[in-house]
Amino acid sequence: MNDKKTDITATIVKLLEGEGFSPRAVEYYLKQINVGRIKEPSASFVFTGPCGDTVEIYLLIKGEVIEDAKFITTGCSASFCSGSALTEILKGKTLKEAEEIEGEDILKHLGGSFPAQKVHCVHLVKRVLEEALAQYRKKHSKRVDPK
């Protein structure tokens, strides 16, 4: 049984590397880093992209700092490793720093090598973050009394 699992994992690794995924992207995909939900998140957002896949993001924010980040995706291997990379990048970042994260930062974190036809999955994950942060800002913006 374990030999069979090892064979399947080796096959998946070979396929992903053959498609152009970096070793770190493959590792994130296999280990499912930060996949899951945060029970009482400070911010969250669910979005279905044009490819038909849905990504959910959950953030735990204390003051201006993101203390924890998790995600779930119904999407492909690229969305899994992008979600893992993004949530790893987010931990310890201020809201402002999080708002400045670009798709390039996610790709760089993943080690640079990434299939060109899967870059849209990186942008899908980033879009979900942007919406979660925008909603959080809106909810927590101080209302100025127009007196």
Binds ligand FES (CB under 6 A): choice among 41, 75, 83, 103? 75
Asked whether position 78 contacts ligand FES by CB under 6 A, the answer is yes
Q: Nearest distance from residue 25's CB to ligand FES, in Å?
A: 13
Binds ligand FES (CB under 6 A): choice among 76, 111, 123, 130? 76
59: enclosing H helix or E strand: strand 54-62
C-alpha to C-alpha distance for 31 and 51, rounded to whole angstroms: 24
One-letter amino acid of 137 = R
Binds ligand FES (CB under 6 A): choice among 59, 89, 121, 133? 121
Q: Nearest distance from residue 75's CB to ligand FES, in Å?
A: 3
Asked whether position 83 contacts ligand FES by CB under 6 A, the answer is no
Asked whether position 84 contacts ligand FES by CB under 6 A, the answer is no
Binds ligand FES (CB under 6 A): choice among 17, 53, 67, 97? 53
C-alpha to C-alpha distance for 37 and 16, rounded to whole angstroms: 26
Q: Smaller CB distance to ligand FES: residue 69 or 124?
A: 124
Q: Nearest distance from residue 118's CB to ligand FES, in Å?
A: 6
Phi, psi of 99 (to 5 degrees): -70, -20
Place of tokens 């402002």: 96
In angstroms, what CA-CA distances link 21 with 15, 18, 82?
9, 7, 11
| Cβ(36)–Cβ(45) below 8 Å | no
12: enclosing H helix or E strand: helix 2-19
Binding site for ligand FES (CB under 6 A): 49, 51, 53, 75-76, 78-79, 121, 124
